[in-house]
């Protein structure tokens, strides 16, 4: 099937909103009560710990709430699939709510661990967990969040859904290990980067969307659409994030700019720039570890088409995500899944 242009797909989405007279709706408002239930249930899951230090450390990142992007996507997909399957009621089931909750807990646990590995200093405008609680307790708190998310997941009672979200953890760990290495040739390097991006970012969205679709009792074709929507959205999200590392400011982004370069990571803008500036290859292989390597890579990206090509690639994935969402029965929720895609390309932080 010929891919329609992104602008045409967004025009269709806006038309869908107009026809339904639903312009006053927005994604978070539709699932506001569900998101409140997610945060409340996370608090209860972690509050059972009888060790005060571990309990408070595990709750630390949840105290200053993030954007809740992953549960937002899962909840909208759950409602859209419920509407697709039932043709009327779109209310989220307890099992689907658990998937949304688990997605946020897994994501937050990885942030705790990532901040330790990356020796980060701030997260969401506050000192990182390991600076407050110490490295060991911080690592254990991330482990504890994952443990409680697994216990919550087991209550769903659907072995296939449990297995799906277990694969998220498998994928995340493999993605982290892949991030430690690179490849010799440009083509292999980019394929390595894209697989790592799927594993570290997109797999959680893809499998969470597939899980809530299966819990809605949808057909295999619809659950595949849900999976592909999450996959494409997740990859686009990370591509834009990698681009913002070069074009945003630390105040807007909430973390230091050029953070990836300083960690030795060659993301899409750098990999594209290396096609124009082959001298970047040696810097990439040594992970920008020598004096002025970060500055040289920064200048090469700024003077190449790397940022535009990264944005173009993100647009391709968002286009595919829109096509997947349009395969669902029309509802406010399916239209908002499309609107989320537009927000990804225009996000500043």
Q: Is the pLDDT of residue 342 over 90?
A: no
Question: Would you state the structure tokens that stand for residue 42, as one six-digit string?
Answer: 């996370």
Average pLDDT over residues 152-177: 93
Q: Is the pLDDT of residue 286 over 50?
A: yes
* Residue 14 confidence class, pLDDT cut points 50, 70, 90: very low
Average pLDDT over residues 212-240: 96
Q: For position 86, what pLDDT does the model report?
A: 76
Residue (of 118, 295, 326, 320) closest to 202 by Cα position: 320
Q: Is the pLDDT of residue 13 over 50?
A: no
Q: For position 343, what pLDDT does the model report?
A: 86
Average pLDDT over residues 335-349: 86
Q: Is the pLDDT of residue 174 over 90?
A: yes
Q: For position 9, what pLDDT does the model report?
A: 45
Average pLDDT over residues 274-285: 94
Average pLDDT over residues 145-166: 94
Angle at 147 between CA 144 and CA 150, to 5 degrees: 150
Higher pLDDT, 349 or 239: 239
Q: For position 346, what pLDDT does the model report?
A: 83
Question: What is the average pLDDT value for the chain, to the nearest integer?
Answer: 88
Q: Is the pLDDT of residue 18 over 60?
A: no
Q: For position 87, what pLDDT does the model report?
A: 63
Q: Residue 198: exposed, middle, or buried by beta-carbon count in 10 A (0-12, 13-18, 19+)?
A: middle
- Neighbouring-strand partners of residue 122: 127
- Neighbouring-strand partners of residue 126: 123
Tens of pLDDT, residues 21-73: 332 347 788 899 999 999 999 999 999 999 999 999 999 999 887 889 999 99
* Residue 257 confidence class, pLDDT cut points 50, 70, 90: low
Between 15-19, 230-234, 242-246, the lowest mean confidence (pLDDT) is in 15-19
Residue (of 226, 227, 260) closest to 241 by Cα position: 260
The three-state DSSP-derived secondary structure of the chain is CCCCCHHHHHHHHHHHHHHHCCCCCCHHHHCHHHHHHHHHHHHHHHHCCCCHHHHHHHHHHHHCCCCCHHHHHHHHHHHHHHHHHHCCCCCCCHHHHHHHHHHHHHHHHHHHHHHHHHCCCEECCEECHHHHHCHHHHHHHHHHHHHHHHHHHHCCCCHHHHHHHHHHHHHHHHHHHHHCCCCCCHHHHHHHHHHHHHHHHHHHHHHHHHHHHHHCCCCHHHHHHHHHHHHHHHHHHHHHHHHHHHHCCHHHHCCCCCHHHHCCCCCHHHHHHHHHCCCHHHHHHCCCCCCCHHHHHHHHHHCCCHHHHHHHHHHHHHHHHHHHHCCCCCCHHHHHHHHHHHHHHHCCC
Q: Which residues have C-beta within 8 Å of that of residue 214, sequence separation ≥ 6?
A: 158, 160, 161, 164, 223
For the chain, list the domains and their CATH numbers.
7-344 (1.10.600.10)
Q: Is the pLDDT of residue 317 over 50?
A: yes
């Amino acid at each position: 099937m010929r891919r329609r242009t992104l602008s045409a797909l967004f025009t269709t989405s806006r038309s869908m909103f107009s026809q339904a007279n639903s312009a006053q709706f927005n994604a978070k408002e539709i699932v506001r009560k569900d998101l409140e239930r997610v945060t409340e249930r996370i608090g209860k899951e972690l509050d059972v710990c009888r060790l005060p230090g571990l309990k408070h450390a595990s709750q630390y990142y949840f105290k200053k709430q993030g954007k809740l992007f992953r549960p937002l996507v899962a909840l909208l997909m759950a409602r859209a699939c419920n509407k697709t399957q039932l043709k009327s009621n779109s209310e989220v089931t307890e099992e689907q709510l658990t998937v949304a909750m688990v997605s946020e807990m897994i994501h937050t646990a990885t942030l705790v661990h990532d901040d330790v590995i990356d020796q980060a200093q701030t997260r969401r405008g506050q000192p990182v967990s390991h600076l407050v609680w110490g490295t060991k307790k911080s690592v254990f708190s991330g482990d504890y969040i994952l443990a409680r998310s697994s216990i919550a997941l087991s209550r769903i009672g659907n072995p296939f859904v449990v297995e799906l979200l277990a694969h998220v953890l498998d994928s995340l760990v493999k993605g982290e290990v892949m991030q430690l290495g690179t490849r010799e040739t440009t083509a292999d390097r980019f394929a390595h980067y894209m697989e790592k991006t799927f594993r570290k970012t997109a797999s959680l969205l893809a499998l969470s969307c597939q899980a809530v679709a299966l819990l809605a009792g949808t057909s295999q074709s619809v659950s595949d659409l849900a999976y592909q929507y999450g996959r494409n959205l997740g990859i686009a999200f990370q591509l834009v994030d990698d681009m913002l590392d070069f074009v945003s400011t630390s105040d807007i982004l909430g973390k230091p700019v050029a953070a990836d370069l300083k960690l030795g990571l060659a993301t899409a803008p750098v990999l594209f720039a290396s096609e124009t500036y082959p001298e970047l290859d040696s810097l990439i292989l040594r992970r920008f570890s020598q004096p002025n390597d970060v500055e040289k890579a920064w200048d090469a990206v700024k003077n190449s088409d790397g940022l535009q090509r990264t944005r173009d690639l993100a647009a391709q994935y968002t286009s595919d995500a829109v096509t997947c969402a349009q395969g669902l029965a029309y509802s406010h929720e399916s239209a908002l899944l499309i609107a989320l895609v537009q927000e990804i390309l225009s996000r500043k932080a």
